[in-house]
Every structure is written in structure tokens, then in C-alpha cells.
Amino acid sequence: MNLFICIDDTDDLDSIGTGELLENMRDAAAAQGLGEGGFIVRYQLLIDDAIPYTSHNSSMCCTFRTDDRDALTAFCRAYLETHCADGSDPGLCILTDDPAVDCAPLAAFGARAQTEVVTKRDAYDAAEAFGVDVSLSEHGGTGDGVIGALAGAGLRAGKAEGKIKGKLYPLPDRPVMTAEAFAALYGVGQIVDDAGQPLDPSTQLHFTEPTKALFRDGKVTCVVVREDGVLKPQPKRKKEKRHV
């Protein structure tokens, strides 16, 4: 079966971060023979003084294919309790990834968490109303991480746009290739310009700087921009630090 695994509120300013924690947990579960995981999507939730968060208030969600949901759930719960940062408030959500299941109510909860303050009680009520296809659990501290965990899983199930963890890196010996070749090489589902229009497969791309892919319309998506007279995957550059 296919599942979504989402975690939130697992870190502190000195820890590896929620994204890397999920990546490690996903890989450890695979190493235990529990299945195979997919890419991780980051979802930005509401920034508000009423919400405690470490730095960005984001949750992280991946897909996972397994034949034993119960064993995978037990493994993830134990992993979080062992590896979460001291003083964090971790939450875990595991949700069925099935096109036949209408996840609109959970996607709506996720959208709420991006625009308004929601509570742990709201999260549990939403999960209970949804039914048996979702499991929600807290693993330390206040357990408020269940809010972001459910929100991220709902957003991913609803195919909401998010940022895919990690970067795509150019190959030194292939600085220019067609959009079709780029998509095949990097596992990209669609390539669009900065206005959202799809590129012709024969379009030449100049790929010389790392880029980040998006999860958009349920696909791994690369956005290209025109710079210096050529089209290139939108570079991921470090922001300049401002000293005030």
C-alpha cells in the first residue's frame, strides 16, 4: 500500500532539522525492509506570534510504499521518540495514499493551518472525522506537532504546492540540453516558465547552477527563467545577509 508520512515540530535551532530527520527515518525504515520511500515535500504553515515554532513553521511529508502499515507505523513512532530534539513537540501523521479516498477534508485542514491559528484539538477532531485511513500521534513535549503533521499530510494528499527537499545539480559535461532530456535525467514531471506555461520538449535549457524542484499539480515541477538571453532552471542562490 502507498502512504503519506508527515512529521512536524521535531527540532531545535541546534538540531538537524525536520526535513533531514524525516529523510533519515524514511531511509532507516527502508533499510529495515519495511518498504521504499519517495521524495520529501516541505509545506509552509502560518507564521504567527501565537504559534511556537523553531524557525520557519514548516512540516515535511514523504510517500512510502509498504506491505505492513502497522510495522511501519510502530517503527516511525519509535524512531521519532528516539531521534527528536530535546524539548521539541513532535507529531506524526500516517495517511493512506489512495486516489479512491477523498482527502479533501484533510486538505482543507491543511489550508486552514496555512492561514489561521488552529489547535491540537482541531487536528484530532479533523483526523477522527476523517476515519481509519489516518493515524495521528504525538511523541513528546506538548505534542502540538500533530497540527503540522496532519496539515502537511492533508496538503500533500490534496496535491497542494510545496517545495521538494534537496536540489538538482548540473552536470559539468552537459551544460545545455533539451527540456525533454532534462526531465528524463532528473525525474521531472513537468517544466514550466515563470508564468506557469509548459515548455516545448525541444526547448534548449542552460543548466549551470543548482535549482530546486517544486511539487505542483501532483508532479515534480521545474520552473525555468530567462537570464542573460537563455532559458535556465531557476537558480537556487544564497540570499544576501543584511546587517542592520
Shared-domain flag, residues 70 and 131? yes
Residue 143 has pLDDT above 90, yes or no: no
- Per-residue pLDDT of 72-118, as tens digits, reads 999 999 999 999 888 888 999 999 999 899 999 999 999 999 999 99
**Alpha-carbon separation of residue 2 from 5, 16, 138, 188 (angstroms):** 10, 27, 22, 20
* Cα 206 versus chain centre, distance: 27
In a shared domain, residues 60 and 115: yes
Say if 19 falls within a structural domain: yes
Pick from 164, 190, 224: which residue ends a domain?
164
Mark which of 129, 164, 199 sits at the end of a domain.
164
The range of the structural domain enclosing residue 139 comes to 2-164
- Asked whether residue 244 is assigned to any structural domain, the reply reads no
Condensed to tens digits (0 to 9), the pLDDT of residues 19-75 reads 999 999 999 999 999 999 999 999 999 886 766 666 567 899 999 999 999 999 999
Whether 243 has a pLDDT exceeding 70, the answer reads no
When divided into structural domains, the chain yields a total of 2
Same domain, 119 and 22: yes
One domain, residues 210 and 144 = no
pLDDT band for position 238 (cuts 50, 70, 90):
low
Tell me the C-alpha distance between 206 and 214, whole Å.
Answer: 19
Find how far residue 66's CA is from the centre of its chain: 19
